[in-house]
Structure 1
Amino acid sequence: MDKSVRSISFFLFNLFFYIFFLLSCSKKWDTLNYITYISGKLFIINPEGLEISGQIGKLNFPSKITTGENSFGVVSITFPNYGYCRISIYPNSFVEIRRTYKEPKGMIHVEISNIFGIALLKSDKCVFSYASAEIKDSFVRIIGDLSNNHLEVIEGSIKIGRKTIQAGSGMKISGKLEQYSLNQAVESVLPVQGRFPKPLVFMWKRADGGTRYFLEISEQRNFDTVSLILETNSNTFFPEQITIKSTSDFYFWRVWYRDKEGRGSFFSTPVSFTVRTQRVIK
């Protein structure tokens, strides 16, 4: 083989390798998508328009996940040995996910087309896209209704267009953009830290301007999964009985609120307590 033939062969080899490299870098990999936790009745509308009630397992996108009056759910979108994107959906809410993907050596991407009600977005090596916002490695609360949509940063920071929104700030994203500071957290009263409450009662101090309060109970301090979400206009919850999925007698509770403008507050400091639960063993 003469020198010119070897040169052409070497050029073609490098050309094919370069094209293969570009194609592999531009490829988008599907992520694994799971409903990880369900309480009550959860509805999943899959691309074929079929309604699946209370299914735990893999999702196909686009999908619309809807909760009922006494239900809530967590959608965990993961990639093997990588990060996660977690969506906690409050009662009477829905989230529409357009698609998810992961680029090689890149982050997981989740494109959300619509949110109604309340949802929490928490991510690690993940980027949520919603409206004009880019939500990356942060903890965000989204409050959405027909005319009063709010995006609130609990931890980290996000971008809305060219503007960076830091933790402790919110943005009204319906109509004219309006940035604001989150309301201060309320102070918890009962149960107190580490005590066994008898009778069981949840109480917190009223907030100036607070109109709706949201009580959450979880077996985890980080509240990645919850056992109960209650919305009330009172600062007291005195249940006669609570039915929850339980693996422990040890719990945490916290509360946050909305004001008349629809703006939310910080979460109160998580408080631990113990109760005696009854379990059904099958």
Structure 2
Amino acid sequence: MIVREVILVGESEQITAILALAVRRVPDVDRAGWSTQVCGVANKRAKMAVSHPRTSLTPAAPRSIVWWTALVVGVAAVFAGATVLLPPRNEGNQDPALAMAVAAPTMIVGAIIHLFLAVTAVPAAGRRSAPAVTCVVIAATAAIAGAVFALLRRETLLGAGGAPAYVLWWVAAVSAFVSLCFLGIRISEFSPATRPPRSGDSGEQARDVVASADRAADQLRYGAAERRAWREILARDAASVSHTVQAQAERLGPFAYVAWAAYCGHVDAPELEEMIRRG
């Protein structure tokens, strides 16, 4: 069974403001039972923090916007550094020297970015993400295509750009391709909190906490009318909250937002129980 992990974005004050709005949407008929479930998530996290203070349920990772920006820029650089070597329909329309002058630097930039991404933590939003995998596949395919045409046009490119630029392009292209393969594997992995634990470590407890949060997030469902009402509440009562925080709250819905707030440690069990009771 695939267990997801959601890390709430934004400052603590903004998350608390959204949380106060979200608990009011819990139906009276579900309030007692669901309160027990989400407070259980908060209690499990608190116990985890006490028994394994060095275990982090939300491992350090770059901000999603920075990671995605770097990924897109890296893909664009690799794509440009590869496709510029493709032969034009009319050979006279392309200057091979200019092509090599563009190809080598852009491929080097792409390789550096992807090397960096391959060795840094992948944010929760990037793990098992179809758009991220698509970006990696596009860049890797472009690097392969560039390598094919670099071989086919070897004499022309060597004569125009010289051996150093040609060799440098190949080193960058191979580095970029290897980094992309490794990055693709890392993106496809579960986050550390959801990965099956090793025997005897604290991973089993971490997995239990995230699984409990995932169950609580999906326990209460709501339809189009509730989704529309939640969107209007956010627009009206959370206008001072950043757009990014609002967008995540709207996407998750009020009930899942409460569950993941408990998981991320933004509220403890007694406080959450009182908030849900008051409504």
Tell me, yes or no, whether TM beats 0.5.
no
Q: Which has the larger radius of gyration?
A: 2
Q: Which has the higher helix share?
A: 2
Structure with more relative contact order (C-alpha pairs < 8 Å, separation 6 or more): 2
Q: TM-score, normalised by structure 1?
A: 0.23
Q: Which has the higher strand share?
A: 1
Q: TM-score, normalised by structure 2?
A: 0.23
